Each structure stands twice: as C-alpha cells, then as structure tokens.
Structure 1
C-alpha cells in the first residue's frame, strides 16, 4: 500500500456528460453522450475520511459520506490498484437529473473513476480500457458508462477479457431532444419487467433496426424514424410508465423518432433538424397530462475530462 502523503496537495476537477442508452433497438449496447454536465472538484486533505458537498440535483438527498456513489467509485479505483485512498474533500455540482434515464448513476461512477485517475497521475496509469472495465464493474453494464467516458455514439459489448467499445461520430444533422418528467423510474424495476426470452422474429427485427440505426446516426438521419423501432424492451416496460408510452406513441405517429431514454421515464427524440425539435416540443406541451421539461441538447463528442487544479501557491 502506498502512503497517503504521496497524494498531499493533489486536487482535480472532473466534467462528465449525461447519456442516453438503448436509443430504441440497441438495448444494452448503444449509448449517446449529451451536452449536459455534472462537475466535480476533489481535493486531498491532511485528515483521513471524506467530506462531500452536493449542489444542484440531489442536494439534501444523496449521501454525503463514504457511501456516496462518487466516493465509492474513487475508493474502488484506488483499491483496484493497491493504493490507499487519502482523505478527500468533494464538491459536486450536479445538473443531470436523477432517476430519469439520463445516466446519472453512470456519470457519478465515471466522475469518481476519473477523479481517481487524476489523483493517481504519475503513480498509476489508467488507460481507456481500464477506465471502462472499472466503470462497468460498478455499473453492471457498459451502455451508459462508455459514452460518458468517451463521448459521441458508442457501441459497447462484453468479452471474456472484459467490456469493449467503439466510438462513432454522429451526423451533424442529428439533433437530440429530451423530455424530462417530474416523476422518476427505478432502473431495477424497469429491468425486472423484461422477459427472460423473446420471440425469434422480435430478435431478428431488432437486429435489423440496430444495424440501420448506426447508419441513420452517422450517415442518413432521414432513416431515424424506422431505425428507432424496437420490440425487445420498451413495450414490456410500458405499463410502468404509461405517460411516457403514450407520448412516445403520439410523437411517432407525427413522424418523430421518439424512444425511451435509458430505463426511462424520460423520452429521447432524435430529430433530423432544429425546427423538428421545436414542433415536437410544442406537441408534447399541448398533449401531455403532466409537466415535462424539454431539453434541446447537442451531442457531446469529448466525453468525460479530468484536469489538475493548480494552487495559487504553485501558480
């Protein structure tokens, strides 16, 4: 075990984007990074233990001790490389909605792992493969953590050697729109509604749509409506989020490529031009039975970043 003093004075800032997973047919495989960000500041302190300040989303709700998910991710990374975690002060500025299908838990995990990477600079080298493996160990599946780490559109898959990913650049004509409701959805509950097996024809249907979706997102946005059709997961979860299901059906009837964002209950619309987003937002505002916040977001192409904080004395 390394001694804590080797980390004395170290401090980093981390930025992590929101993500949306599945994108309709790409269940547990496809993910997209969105330009909405959580920020984290971590400073090594002389005393052992941790302090956590949370501002914005989750303030007064999420734990502010060692059970905080960001702290657990930092500790997990230090332990994975045989390093003793020093005492830390954390300040989290959260913007990503919690429990809405926009990757908030994945963002917290990635925040912690990137913070640990920054604090371990020069002591342990964490490459992209190691970062994805650590994040997947904690999240359970790579579809959210891959785009959070690397940005853009990601294809993630599991191998005997661990999780892998491929990052793709999204066509500049693709304009994401996310509708966020006031109510939340448990990812565990959403997953529990999935059947153990699906009909062969449904599997073949989703294989064709997933392949088409890659082409639509990187080359042919005009195919997005057809490419986002799904028979593997959204219909099974519909009873748990009836308003989400109703609005998605309405949007699709009007020609919008609308899907459940992650496990829901937020709705993702993959528009092919900015004007289409405005029309979709007007439709939901008119037809929704409960309040929905419309977020017109860009695709994030950079992914999570970590940078050292240079002290005034050092500067």
Structure 2
C-alpha cells in the first residue's frame, strides 16, 4: 500500500443501452454520455466519496458506495490490499432509467483499480470483463461500457465473453428519459420463467437481423428491433414508456425500451429522423421527458494514471 501512495487516476465510462429490443441480456450499445471519476490513494485507511451531479446527496459516500466496492473487489481479485482512497465522482448518467448507471459505476471502479495497479498487477481485457460481470451479474451492460461500440456478450463455462462490432455511421441514437425511475428488479420480476417456442424463434431471427441493421443496413432497423421476450411483459411497470414506444413504432421509428427502462431508445437512420422521433415524444408524453441525442461511443472506458503529492 505504501508503494501506491501518491497514485491517482482519472476514469471515463460511457452510458449503455442493453437489449436493443430483441437482444435480451446479450446485446448492448455504448452511448457518448459519460460519468467521470477521480481516485487518489491516501495514507489514511478507508474511503471517502464526493458525488457531483446525478446522485449527489443520494448515493453512499463511504466504503459502501458501489464504485468503492468495485475497486475493493478488483484489488481482492488481484490479491492486493486495498489502500485508503479519496474519490470524486462526476455523474451524468441518470440512475434507475435503464442507461447502465450501475454498470458504469462498476466499470469505473474496475478501471480505477486497473490504473492504480499499473506496474504492480496487469489486468487484461478479459480480466476486466470477468471482474465487472461478477459484480453486475451479467455482462450485457458492462461489456459495452468497457469496450465501446456494439457488443455481443455471453457467459460460458470459461466465464463471460464478448465481441465488439462497429456501428454503421448512419445510425443516430435518440434517448428519452422520464423524470422517474423503475427498478431493474421489478422489471425482471414481471417476466415469465418460460416463453412460447414461437416467441423465442422470433427473437432469434430479429437479433440476427439487428446485427446486420446496426452494422450494415440501417434501413432494416424498424423490423430488426421487434421483440416478444421482455418488453410486453414489463409494460405494466412503465405504461407511459410502453405507450410511447408503440406510438413511435407506429410512425415507423425503431423504438425500444432501453435496458430495464423506463427510458426509451430510438435507433434512427438519420439526424432528421431523430428530430422527428423527438417531436413525437414531445407531443404524446404525459410527463416531461429529457431528450438526448448522443453519438455511439466507440472507445469505451478509459483510465489515465498520474501522481499527486501525498498529504
């Protein structure tokens, strides 16, 4: 721990949208909306967290904070003692909206550990994904947060895996978020334990089509984002989201629930279509919705180590 004194890192992690309609628990997209984190090793044990922006005054500011717990998990995984830490979190990703905020916090911590341990223990890309998945429980959000772009993630006998694909430059995401949250646990509880074979086959075909649409043929996005596995079952937990998705899709837009919701994601094929979809949300929403037009993040999480003078 003495050797780490004076080390500091700056971490940037993108928001993510998982599922993308038919790709339940497997597909994810990184969005150019970022949380930033500064971590500094201090001499005193324990951890303190300063939160600025989203979650300020709401999330824990001690060792129970998810970022701190993620750093601690990564250090333990690497067989290293956890030093004292000062953290400053600059949060822009809305919490509880289906934009991967918990995955971003976990990835922030894992990347901070990677930077702090630079030259002591080297954590590979597969190590980072495994550590983050152990904390999150599934890789569909943490994979795009770590690696950027469009990711296909899975878990096999050897642990989690992923592959990254480049998104067609014509794809223009629109993210719309209401002023209220829906818990992931509630959304998942509404899904049945089994689904009809025809629905499973339907989603397999649409997931395959979605890969082609996102990487090569954006004109296919509307058909490719149809889903029968999860959005209909979760609609009762977010009726306004469900209604807006139907309205957008009825107008020809590739609208889906973002992650577990209640935000929605529209995968547009041009900036003009994105503006038209935003106008539909403005006209038909019952409550105020925040509208963001981020690019696809192609870099994923980054960490920049540096040194500071210890107190």
Cross-structure match for 2:18: 21
Structure-2 separation of matches of 1:107 and 1:311: 25
89 and 312 in structure 1: CA distance in 2 versus 1, 3 angstrom threshold: closer
Asked if residue 79 in structure 1 is aligned to residue 76 in structure 2, the reply is: yes
Q: In 1, are the aligned partners of 2:30 and 2:144 still within 8 Å (CA)? A: yes
Asked if residue 131 in structure 1 is aligned to residue 145 in structure 2, the reply is: no
Cross-structure match for 2:189: 192
For structure 1, the residue ranges without an aligned partner over 5 or more in a row are none
Asked if residue 245 in structure 1 is aligned to residue 242 in structure 2, the reply is: yes
Asked if residue 170 in structure 1 is aligned to residue 167 in structure 2, the reply is: yes
CA shift digits 1:52-92 (9 cap, x unpaired): 10000000000000100000000000111111100000000
* TM-score normalised to structure 2 length: 0.99
Aligned ranges for residues 149-298 of structure 1 at < 5 Å?
149-298=146-295
Structure-1 separation of matches of 2:290 and 2:223: 26
Cross-structure match for 1:141: 138
Structure-1 separation of matches of 2:183 and 2:278: 25
For structure 2, the residue ranges without an aligned partner over 5 or more in a row are none
Question: What SS is found at the alignment partner of 1:83?
Answer: coil
28 and 76 in structure 1: CA distance in 2 versus 1, 3 angstrom threshold: same
Q: In 1, are the aligned partners of 2:178 and 2:262 still within 8 Å (CA)? A: yes
Cross-structure match for 1:51: 48
List, as ranges, runs of 4+ consecutive aligned residues in structure 1 with deviation greater than 3 Å. Answer: 310-313
Shift of 1:26: 0.1
Shift of 1:27: 0.1
CA shift digits 1:147-181 (9 cap, x unpaired): 00000000001111100000000000000000010
Structure-2 separation of matches of 1:235 and 1:46: 52
Cross-structure match for 1:309: 306
